[in-house]
Amino acid sequence: MNHPKILRNIIVRRASPIIYFCIGLMFFFLSCAILPGGPAAENQRHEQPFGMENPFLIPPAEAPARPAIPHYIMGRGHVSPEKLAAFLLDNNPEADRAFVEELAIIYVEEAAIEGVNHDVAFAQMSLETGFLRFGNLVTIDQFNFGGLGATGPGFPGLTFPSARIGVRAQIQHLKAYASDAPLNMELVNPRFFFVRRGSSPTITGLAGTWAEDPEYAEKIHNILERLYFFSFEN
């Protein structure tokens, strides 16, 4: 009997499953490393630096662009009180910083109560007062930031007891032009009912109504443009 041959056949038969298993395991690891859906590819998605060619890499979202210049009076403003104050002080370094900072907060608060865009109201105030320089018919002690009732020599306009009430009166007047919704605060503006409610929902409609100047709306728009550039791109 050929015992070495029989022994060799037994060893081969017993070793074959182990060999096949090892070969299969080797192909499995190779597929994980090479195929796009394998674990190695998954790790590569997370570890590969952004900018390298990788079809599985999702680039981060781009930073949002600055807000569009508002067209309507009603709405939500985008500029923070800090930026509003900084913008005014940049245009009038002689203004009282503490007063300006408090005034900016008041504009955001009072506009929010009535649903008026505080960016629009603040820009209008900047136009009406020359960035709080005043110097025309209205004086700073009147707290009349919208030039309400100021129509010419001898008619300097309304006077309000505080900055907050003056801002509130301006906000109420803007709401009178822009909407027919009821006020949320007690009326402090005696000229409120002189306005046809909802007649000018946009800034454009303020030219020839709030002020006789045909370029009034364009001037407010230009200040808004500068405000947004200062706040979001500067």
Q: Does domain 81-232 have CATH number 1.10.530.10?
A: yes
Lowest mean pLDDT across 6-10, 105-109, 182-186, 224-228? 6-10
pLDDT beyond 90 at 189: yes
Compute how many other C-beta atoms are within 10 angstroms of the C-beta atom of residue 189. Answer: 25
Residue 154 is predicted with a pLDDT of 77
The residues, ordered by sequence, that sit 6+ positions from 175 with a Cβ below 8 Å of its Cβ are: 73, 74, 114, 115, 116, 181, 183
Q: Label residue 228 by pLDDT band (50, 70, 90).
A: very high
Q: Residue 108 corresponds to which tokens in the numbers above?
A: 């955001």
Q: What is the pLDDT of residues 53-82, one digit of tens each?
A: 444 444 444 445 789 999 999 999 999 999
- Share above pLDDT 70 across residues of the chain, in percent, rounded to a whole number: 73
Return the SS3 of 173.
helix
Taking CA 163 as the corner, what is the angle to CA 130 and CA 81, rounded to the nearest 5 degrees?
Answer: 70
155 DSSP 8-state letter: E
Lowest mean pLDDT across 39-48, 117-126, 168-177? 39-48
- Torsion angle, CA of 216/222/225/229, rounded to 10 degrees? -140
Q: Label residue 155 by pLDDT band (50, 70, 90).
A: confident
150 DSSP 8-state letter: E
For residue 15, with 0-12 CB atoms within 10 Å meaning exposed, 13-18 middle and 19 or more buried, which class applies? Answer: exposed
d(CA 160, CA 226) in angstroms, rounded, equals 29
| Domain ranges within the chain, ordered by starting residue | 3-47, 81-232
Q: Label residue 18 by pLDDT band (50, 70, 90).
A: low
DSSP output for 64-106: PPPPPPP-BSBS---S-HHHHHHHHHHH-TTS-HHHHHHHHHH
Lowest mean pLDDT across 17-31, 104-118, 129-143? 17-31
